[in-house]
Amino acid sequence: MNKQEAIKRVDELRSLLNKANEAYYQDAQPFMSDKDFDESLKELEALEQQFDLASVDSPTQRVGGEVSSQFDSVQHPVPMLSLDNTYNEQELKDFDGRVQKILGHTDYNYLVELKFDGASIRLRYEDGNFVLGATRGNGEKGDDITRNLKTVQDIPLTLSGDYPSVVEVRGEAYMEREAFARMNDRREEEGLSVFANPRNSTAGSLKMQDPKAVAQRPIRFFAFDLIFDDEDPNITQWKKNELIKEFGLPVNDHPTVCNTIEEVLEVIHRFDALRHELPYETDGVVIKINQANLRDQLGSTSKFPRWAIAYKFEAEQAQTKLNDISLQVGRLGTITPVAELEPVLLAGTTVKRASLHNEEEIHRKDIRIGDTVLVEKAGEIIPQVISVVDPNRESRSEPFDFPAHCPACEAELIKYEDEVAWRCINPECPPQVRIKIEHFASRDALDVEGLGESVVDQLVSEGLIANYADLFDLKLEQIIPLERMAEKSAQNLISAIEKAKMQPFDRVLYALGIRFVGKTVAKDLAKAFSSIERLQAATEEELLAVDAIGPRIAESVIQFFTNEINTNIVARLQAAGLQFEMEEQEMASSKLEGKTVVLTGSLPSLSRKQASEIIEKHGGKTSSSVSKKTDFVLAGESAGSKLAKAQDLGITIWDEAEFLNFLGEEPA
């Protein structure tokens, strides 16, 4: 290769790797495997060195992602470097040889620990209090995601033990495999795109703008390093792990001290077998010099520390034939295509089926019946078809044609705007019936005590109910014969169903299970339209005029009430005596009429619910975010960014005493 050819190849590789970095770090939607990325990076590095083509903006000089314009950026006091990595045991021995050569002795050992496939973050504690959390970003600067990290239950807000005045914690946010699988199932049911793996799911979740939404994601955390302002030069990584535990931070159970590189290789083989049994994803092993005082001597390159390296496991993949594509109806009507595979052994289990997620995914990968496909376990738990092995072979079958009707009930399928999934909206579609009834009877809806999953399953299986309106036609003698039922428990269930008729309109509206209509939206709709008749007749413009109702919710409400089966069920519920009108509530005053109040922090005597009720009683409404439309902010202890934003916008800020005094209310 001459220099001109090298320049062309270097440009190609830089472009490819920059796009891959953006997809991995910013969009959380990778299109290259780790191994392909690493091999391309090594090729680029070799060409830059051989032909003197190094550049400060090359991917070989960068740690990873960039900081995001959506968050404030923060400078890392100590750079958060990436790790050099290898898939090769000989390269590990070469690494050990370089360490020996630089140090000039063998008086050191290694700490070997699992490499978590998540998102690297740093935490800062001052006087034991969590004050800052940030992403790795570009290694020098990261995104300030403190508010989001405060929702992660594994991260303590205050340290325990004998902690220093200032300590920096390095660690990894991650998701456990089963929690990730459940979350992807929910996203698929909701017609949303699924995450490729737990790592991307974690990274994407931490970059969300709403901490409440982050709190709903099953994010976990392991700490793996501490950085002190005044560090004991004789401290070891093993001792730091002990301190991490003392401070009340979670640390992994598997770090192992090894005296030689041969011992390191033995531990790697043990971890390689162990990883399939762990509840979380690990993509390799990290090998670190245990003695902190030797790390300065070993130093770092612009990108990697010379005192640590990562050994990466190969992703387990297999090739097999795709015999057919079947369709699965989800509990909320989502139609999921499933690959029916020639059985193949993968990660210790026989795989016969794999999710294809949605129609767009099939067409994007051009997957067809009869193809030989590459299958991988995403998160080592969910089999996925990664790609077609032979897309250019002759005599391929025709592209898959997604059906127009539900495979379970023959109802016509629909696709909502901005969604990738086809959906069956027939409320009596058999796979959906049980979950709709469970939701209808749930605590936040009609709160029908005794109507749990097993009872619902029996009622549906015995043909006693086909939708939630049928609950109000049930007779005592029909329920008594059910398994684990007797006359008393059957009577209790009948009484609980009767009691549900007293629930207010907003809870009945929530119980109907209209897509995107949660508890808060149901309350807003009930207030705005006051009766089911007015809501059923509402136009899109009238729905959009209600605060917090966007096009997606408006479309879903209209779709629900234009379905004849739904309107028949609602009519039966009205005839049964459920509340479909708002009760007239006497206002305490109109002092907050037309005003929006945002709550932030912990109030001395009022719970958030109590404060919201007082605001509504005086004609006002609450909002979860501060904007130019906000009239007042009620701030308590530990008020966060909402308070700062209100101050910037010049919005009136109350403490609890001022709030209660203005409204003439007493403390709780």
Matching residue, tokens 């401070």: 247
DSSP letter string over 477-545?
HHHTTSTT--HHHHHHHHHHHHHGGGS-HHHHHHHTT-TT--HHHHHHHHHHH-BHHHHHT--HHHHHT
Element (H, E) at 159: none
pLDDT tens per residue across span 447-490? 999 998 889 989 988 999 999 999 999 999 999 999 888 899 99
Q: Place 378 in a pLDDT band, splitting at 50, 70 and 90.
A: low
Q: What is the pLDDT of residues 516-525, one digit of tens each?
A: 888 888 988 9
Residue 189 pLDDT grade (very low, low, confident, very high; cuts 50, 70, 90): low
Percent of the chain with pLDDT over 70: 93
220 and 152 Cβ atoms separated by less than 8 Å: yes
pLDDT at 112: 96
Residue 67 has pLDDT above 60, yes or no: no
- The answer to which of 67-71, 331-335, 661-665 has the lowest mean pLDDT is 67-71
Q: Report d(CA 74, CA 565) in Å as an integer.
A: 55
pLDDT for the residue numbered 110: 97
Task: Report how far residue 178's alpha carbon sits from residue 259's, in angstroms, rounded to the nearest whole number.
Answer: 36
The predicted model gives 13-35 an average pLDDT of 68
pLDDT of residue 194: 74
Mean per-residue pLDDT, 103-119:
93
pLDDT given at position 432: 85
- 521, 548 in Cβ contact below 8 A? yes
Q: What is the mean pLDDT of residues 49-66?
A: 69
How is the chain split into domains, by residue range? 3-61, 73-312, 319-388, 430-576, 596-663
- The yes-or-no verdict on residue 108 having pLDDT over 80 is yes
For the domain covering 319-388, report its CATH number: 2.40.50.140
pLDDT at 434: 86
Nearest to 28 by CA among 204, 281, 180: 204
Asked whether residue 87 carries a pLDDT value surpassing 80, the answer given is yes
Residue 25 has pLDDT above 60, yes or no: no
Residue 380 has pLDDT above 60, yes or no: no
Dump pLDDT digits (tens) for 492-514: 999 999 999 999 999 999 999 89
Residues 46-53 have a mean pLDDT of 83
pLDDT digits (tens, 9 = 90+) for 598-619: 888 888 888 887 888 899 889 8
Interstrand relation of 308-312 and 85-86 (parallel, antiparallel or unpaired): parallel
**Residues assigned a catalytic role:** 115
Distances 142 to 61, 65, 249, 392, 503 between C-alpha atoms, Å: 17, 9, 22, 44, 48
Tell me the pLDDT tens digit for each residue of 245-298.
999 999 998 999 999 999 999 999 999 888 878 888 888 999 999 999 999 899
Nearest to 637 by CA among 605, 597, 593, 592: 605
Specify the range with the lowest mean pLDDT, choosing from 26-35, 151-160, 411-420: 26-35
- In the predicted structure, residue 148 carries a pLDDT above the cut 60: yes
DSSP per-residue string spanning 552-574: HHHHHHHHHHT-HHHHHHHHHHH
CATH code for the part of the protein at 3-61: 1.10.287.610
Q: Answer whether 485's CB lies under 8 Å from 589's CB.
A: no
Give the orientation angle of helix 34-50 with respect to helix 3-21, to 10 degrees: 150
Per-residue pLDDT at 26 exceeds 70: no
How many other C-beta atoms can be found within 10 angstroms of the C-beta atom of residue 342? 13
Query: Does the pLDDT at position 628 exceed 90?
Result: no
Average pLDDT over residues 113-128: 92
Residue 634 identity: L
Residue-wise pLDDT tens digits, 202-220: 888 898 888 878 888 899 9
Q: Residue 644 and residue 631: Cα distance in Å, rounded?
A: 15
Q: Which one, of 249, 294, 24, lies nearest residue 122 by Cα? A: 249
Which CATH number is 596-663 given? Answer: 3.40.50.10190
| Residue range 430-576, CATH number | 1.10.150.20
For residue 46, what is the enclosing H or E element? helix 34-50
Nearest residue to 264 via CA among 309, 294, 316, 305: 309
Q: What would the DSSP string read from start to end of 314-341? A: PPPEEEEEEEEEEEEE-TTSEEEEEEEE
Please say if the pLDDT value at position 640 is more than 80: no
DSSP string, 56-101: TTSGGG--SPPPPTTS-EEE-SS------EES-HHHHHHHHHHHHH
- Which range (7-11, 36-40, 188-192) has the least confidence? 188-192
* 420 pLDDT above the threshold of 60: yes
Q: Which residues of 277-297 are buried (b: 16+ CB within 10 A; e: fewer)?
A: ebebbbbbbbbbbbbbebbee
What lies within 8 Å, CB to CB, of 653 at 6+ separation is 632, 633, 635, 643, 646, 647
Average the pLDDT over each of 303-312, 463-472, 637-646, 657-666 and give the range with the smallest value.
637-646
Mean pLDDT lowest for which of 78-82, 166-170, 531-535, 586-590? Answer: 586-590
Place of tokens 């015995």: 462
What's this model's pTM, rounded to 2 decimal places?
A: 0.53
Round to whole Å and give the CA distance between 393 and 136.
44
- The residue that leads in pLDDT, 661 or 200, is 661
User: CA–CA distance from 513 to each of 166, 468, 538, 566 (Å)?
Assistant: 49, 10, 18, 11
Half-sphere exposure of 275 (CA within 13 A, CB side): 24
pLDDT at 31: 64
Nearest one of 565, 195, 187, 191 to 415, comparing CA atoms: 191
What is the average pLDDT score of the chain? 87
Residue 45: pLDDT over 70: yes
Which is more confidently placed, 265 or 347? 265
CATH class of 73-312: alpha beta
